[in-house]
């Protein structure tokens, strides 16, 4: 898949992490039904690989599905076997290179200018600024875009609706959203409330449609 193009088009990555595999799978399928095209399942969730495998079967071969928190080469290989077609990392570990060798585009975690340059050299498709809120929010993104005006930045960490607007206005190609979107749905919480949050975030990113 062309991850950079997908990020530019859809502007939102939903991050699913939960302790209830059945609820996590239900969350993925609900988000997909609500029109959220880019979904990652964090490998830190319970039976995350099983969730990815079942989600892939339910969604079919053409719907983008990512694995998050890919740290090691083994993580990348396991995610690929389960059916993930893109990888998301919190940092520039060995998972980046392993995912690239498997043909999986990578949204690679960076924070500093040095890491941005390193990620570019590793072939990352896009750059996940993490943790974005703690780094300085939209103002930090704006500062990074001075020396790196064309890099596809995706802030992640503490991104609520207001922050999403701020990052997109500051030039982010997309935003990654976990708990402000997912809430407790992946642990068995309300599906109707998840649907409402999904619609609210879709409305926010629609303001910045390209």
Question: Cα–Cα distance between 122 and 106 in angstroms, integer?
Answer: 10
**pLDDT at position 169, please?**
97
Q: Across the chain, which distance is largest between two alpha carbons, in Å?
A: 44
Residues of the chain with pLDDT > 90: what percent?
Answer: 99
Residue 209 pLDDT greater than 90, yes or no? no
Residue 210 pLDDT greater than 80, yes or no? no
> Quick one: which of 135, 133, 136, 204 has its CA closest to 174?
204
Average pLDDT value for residue range 95-108: 98
Residues of the chain with pLDDT > 70: what percent?
Answer: 100
CATH architecture type of domain 3-206: Alpha-Beta Barrel (3.20)
**pLDDT at position 83, please?**
98
**What pLDDT, in 10s, does the model give residues 34-83?**
999 999 999 999 999 999 999 999 999 999 999 999 999 999 999 999 99
**Average pLDDT, rounded, for the chain:** 97
**pLDDT at position 120, please?**
96
**pLDDT at position 7, please?**
98
Q: Burial of 187 by CB count in 10 Å (0-12 exposed, 13-18 middle, 19+ buried)? A: middle
**pLDDT at position 110, please?**
98
Which residues are catalytic, by number?
40, 128
Q: Flag whether the pTM goes above 0.95.
A: yes
* Model confidence band, residue 11 (pLDDT cutoffs 50, 70, 90): very high
Q: How many Cβ atoms from other residues are within 10 Å of residue 134's Cβ?
A: 11
**What pLDDT, in 10s, does the model give residues 147-187?**
999 999 999 999 999 999 999 999 999 999 999 999 999 99
Q: Burial of 146 by CB count in 10 Å (0-12 exposed, 13-18 middle, 19+ buried)? A: exposed
Which are the contacts of 192, defined by CB distance < 8 A and separation ≥ 6? Answer: none
């Amino acid at each position: 898949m062309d991850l950079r193009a997908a990020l530019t088009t859809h502007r939102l990555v939903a991050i699913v992490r939960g302790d209830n595999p059945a609820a996590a799978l239900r969350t993925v399928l609900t988000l997909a039904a609500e029109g959220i095209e880019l979904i990652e399942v964090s490998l830190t969730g319970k039976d995350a690989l099983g969730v990815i495998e079942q989600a892939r079967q339910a969604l079919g071969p053409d719907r983008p599905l990512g694995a998050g928190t890919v740290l090691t080469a083994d993580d990348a290989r396991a995610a690929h076997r389960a059916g993930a077609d893109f990888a998301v990392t919190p940092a520039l570990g060995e998972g980046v290179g392993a995912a690239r060798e498997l043909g999986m585009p990578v949204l690679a975690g960076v924070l500093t200018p040095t890491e941005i340059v390193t990620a570019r050299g590793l072939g990352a498709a896009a750059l996940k600024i993490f943790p974005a809120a703690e780094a300085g929010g939209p103002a930090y993104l704006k500062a990074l875009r001075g020396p790196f005006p064309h890099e596809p930045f995706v802030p992640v960490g503490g991104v609520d609706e207001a922050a999403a607007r701020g990052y997109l206005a500051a030039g982010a190609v997309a935003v990654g959203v976990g708990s402000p979107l997912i809430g407790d749905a992946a642990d068995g919480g309300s599906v109707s409330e998840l649907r409402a949050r999904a619609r609210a975030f879709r409305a926010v990113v629609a303001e910045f449609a390209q």
